[in-house]
Chain A
Amino acid sequence: GAVVSQHPSWVICKSGTSVKIECRSLDFQATTMFWYRQFPKQSLMLMATSNEGSKATYEQGVEKDKFLINHASLTLSTLTVTSAHPEDSSFYICSASPPGARSATEAFFGQGTRLTVV
């Protein structure tokens, strides 16, 4: 099956620094990828839609200057948490679907990144 790889799987950073998370589709091209955030014991909430070659679309309440998204190629999207603070500590996970007919029926997730800001 299709594989989506996310890196790093966990990161600890100091308050005020920036952290970059990568999401790669390994065996298909993804013009669109999705970034979700999950707090402990809660569901996944969509943060933004990453679009290859154009600006990301952010959900209401998500600061675009705080969470920078770059979709520079058809297989890579990056999420950069800028000037991270302890309240940004969370589990971040990306998703992508294969193109064509499979885009409706399949959605694959990366392994997720557990961010801890100290």
Chain B
Amino acid sequence: AQKITQTQPGMFVQEKEAVTLDCTYDTSDPSYGLFWYKQPSSGEMIFLIYQGSYDQQNATEGRYSLNFQKARKSANLVISASQLGDSAMYFCAMRFSGSARQLTFGSGTQLTVLP
């Protein structure tokens, strides 16, 4: 079975510090993609970063980086220099190979940045 797990329902971080949001997955499929989205209280899903299963390097996008450990089946999101505007729900999602291309989401982590 293909599954995404986020074990941290809530996280707190001090402004300007870095924070790591955990995500583990379970699949026997060798080809897959991992996504992270930010969902503020407005509900929109904001794409943050993508990592392909065959990518040799960890993905980075500005203050976001993905700590991809394939053998451990983990894809943790690292946010550096946290800002108050980073407070939101964060979802890890996985896309498996095949024609459908839908995403399977983890349960999410509510991040609160403290001033």
Counting CB contacts under 8 A, is A97 at the interface?
yes
Check if A93 sits within 8 Å of B95, measured CB to CB.
Answer: no
B interface majority secondary structure: strand
Within 8 A of A (CB), among B5-43: 33, 35, 37, 42-43
Check if A104 sits within 8 Å of B101, measured CB to CB.
Answer: yes
Within 8 A of B (CB), among A11-60: 32, 34, 38, 42-46, 49, 57
Check if A109 sits within 8 Å of B105, measured CB to CB.
Answer: no
Q: Find chain B residues with CB under 8 A from A34 CB.
A: 102-103
Q: Find chain B residues with CB under 8 A from A97 CB.
A: 101
Counting CB contacts under 8 A, is A111 at the interface?
yes
- A73 and B87 CA atoms in complex are apart in Å by 37
Q: Find chain A residues with CB under 8 A from B47 CB.
A: 106-109
Check if A43 sits within 8 Å of B105, measured CB to CB.
Answer: yes
- A103 and B33 CA atoms in complex are apart in Å by 11
- A105 and B93 CA atoms in complex are apart in Å by 12
Nearest CB on A from B10, distance (A): 11
Counting CB contacts under 8 A, is A7 at the interface?
no
Q: Find chain A residues with CB under 8 A from B68 CB.
A: none
| Interface of B toward A, CB cutoff 8 Å | 33, 35, 37, 42-45, 47, 50, 52, 91, 93, 95, 100-108
